[in-house]
Copies of this chain bind each other. A is one copy, B any other.
Amino acid sequence: MPVIECPAEVKAGEPFVVKVTIGKEIAHPNTTEHHIRWIAVFFQPEGEKFTYHVGTFEFAAHGDSSEGTNKGPVLTEPELAFSLKLTKSGTLHALALCNIHGLWESAKRIRRAPQIEVESRTLTTW
């Protein structure tokens, strides 16, 4: 499951860092046969109807090689950090795709100051 790390509260319009990691506790395999292919992040403003696509981050190198599986010189590891500005409170959703186990989802709520509220949960819909 993707783990989202970011401040519990942020200032409207000021950039902050969001980190998304797969397999924080137990490393996910990263082989030609079995790997995380991408993480997509969405933002749901509180009380609004529509979801915003924040970004999709594709991890493309998994040891693929003309010399055979797992002989390639590059492994893109399933973690990333990026920078965001928000003007509303809401929930960040991270959706990850494992090439053989399909989709995984998680969410983290962000409150603008002065409210402090953090929520981390598995969503059943978005």
Chain A: residues with CB nearer than 8 A to chain B?
15, 32-34, 37, 42-43, 45, 49-61, 64-66, 68-69, 72-77, 79-88, 90, 97, 99-103, 124-126
Contacts and interface: CB of A to CB of B under 8 A. Distances in A.
A100 B125 CA distance: 19
A86 B100 contact: no
Report copies per complex. 4
B84 A81 contact: no
Q: Which of A15, A51, A53, A124 has the most CB of B within 10 A?
A: A53
A126 to B, nearest CB: 7
Contacts of A64: 33-34, 52, 99-100
B52 A73 contact: yes
